[in-house]
A and B are shown apart, each in its own frame.
Chain A
Amino acid sequence: MPYALCFLLFVIGLYCVLVKKNMVKIVIGILVMEYAVNLFLIMLGYRTGGAAPIIDKTCLEPGTGQITASFISTSVDPLPQALVLTAIVISLGSLALIISICVRTYEKYGTFDITKIRRLKG
């Protein structure tokens, strides 16, 4: 069920990108799609009652120094979180690029409406 809601959020973003005619609203739609994908990846790595994957002395076997099986069965996978953190940083950079393109387009044409941006002006 949460995955279906995540997909619904993605579809809302896609609708916003395809239907809206204002460039700023299209940018907002792209951001909503990015957040839906991030939420999906974070939910894949969720584990109910999980522990932080930090190894300290309570996680090691007393004699051998091996990691205990209970730590392996309760610790959370840190990979999706690192992936999503990187994706957030990259989406921030691409957002700055997209908004600068919007600003330059408004400067050139005087409108954000994509149906009115028709002429090729050099």
Chain B
Amino acid sequence: MEQKQRNSNVAQKEKISNGVKGMTIIVKTIGSWAKVLIFLFGIYIVLFGHLTPGGGFAGGVMIASAYVLLMLAFGGEFVKQNLSPSLALKLACAGTLAFAAIAVAGFFYGPDGFFWNFIGQEWLAGESSNLHFINAGIIMLAELAVGVIVAAAIFLVIFTFSTFKFDVSDNQKE
């Protein structure tokens, strides 16, 4: 009986030390509702960055924080299945390339070259229109690229820190 108790204690300690498999059902339920709202608000901040306060960086941080919420509530493995780190790295690189392509494309279209707004601005700010939020030419495309970069990069940073395992082989050698 005592042996069994000790075994279960050891198993419990290993379970705790091997990484938490998620929190209680309350946190999981509320987190699965809140993640949608946080993600949508991040996309809204990215798309309307040229009209309202915010922009690519702030919206990207919000999208990454939705994944951080999932990471805290459901554990790292769940997030790894949803958005693998290799895919996040590819997204960050693709966003960087898209931003550079938008900047360099100005050379082929306009007299000013770098970051020339080749799409143009059809409506002035403050003027009402059905397509109000695409009235700033390349600014929205650049903000979109920045949002993808920031979301993927911050997700990668936090995911790397959360799944960090101490390498004890060096200490055991001495």
Looking at the complex, which of A5-13, A40-48, A50-58, A71-79 is the stretch in contact with chain B?
A50-58
List of B residues within 8 angstroms of A54 by Cβ: 125-126
Establish whether residues A55 and B170, one from each chain, have CB atoms under 8 Å apart when the complex forms: no
Q: Report the number of A-B residue pairs with Cβ-Cβ less than 8 Å.
A: 26
* Stretch of B86-94, B102-110, B159-167 with 4 or more beta carbons under 8 angstroms from chain A: B159-167
Shortest Cβ distance from residue A122 to the other chain B in the assembled complex, whole angstroms: 10
Chain A interface mostly helix, strand, loop or mixed? helix
**In the complex, how many residues of chain B place their beta carbon closer than 8 angstroms to a beta carbon of chain A?**
14
**Chain A residue with the shortest CB-CB distance to B51:** A54
Q: Is there contact, CB below 8 Å, between A85 and B57?
A: yes
A89–B127 Cα distance when bound, in Å, is: 32
**B61 CB → nearest A CB, Å:** 9
Min CB gap B23→A, angstroms: 23
- Given A85-B57, A96-B157, A99-B161, answer yes or no on A55-B124 (Cβ-Cβ < 8 Å): yes
The distance in angstroms between the C-alpha atoms of A58 and B127, with both chains bound, is: 10
Q: Which residues of B contact A88 (CB under 8 A)?
A: 57
**Across the two chains, which residue of chain B brings its CB closest to A56?**
B126
List B contacts of A55 (CB < 8 A): 124-125
The CA-CA distance from A100 to B57 in the complex, in Å, is 22
Q: Determine whether B171 belongs to the interface, using a CB cutoff of 8 Å to chain A.
A: yes
A56 to B135 CA separation, bound complex (whole angstroms): 13
From 106 to 145 in chain B, residues with beta carbon under 8 angstroms from any chain A beta carbon are 124-127
Q: A56 near B127 (CB under 8 angstroms)?
A: yes
On B, residues with C-beta under 8 Å from A are: 55, 57, 124-127, 154, 157, 161, 164, 166-167, 170-171
Q: Which 10 A-B pairs have the closest CB atoms?
A: A56-B126, A56-B125, A54-B125, A96-B157, A56-B124, A107-B166, A57-B124, A89-B57, A103-B164, A107-B167
Residues in chain A within 8 A of chain B (CB atoms): 54-58, 85, 88-89, 92, 96, 99-100, 103, 107-108, 110
Instruction: Give 12 A-B pairs besides A57-B126, A96-B157, A108-B170 with Cβ atoms closer than 8 angstroms.
Output: A55-B124, A56-B126, A56-B127, A57-B124, A57-B127, A58-B126, A85-B55, A92-B154, A103-B164, A107-B166, A107-B167, A110-B171
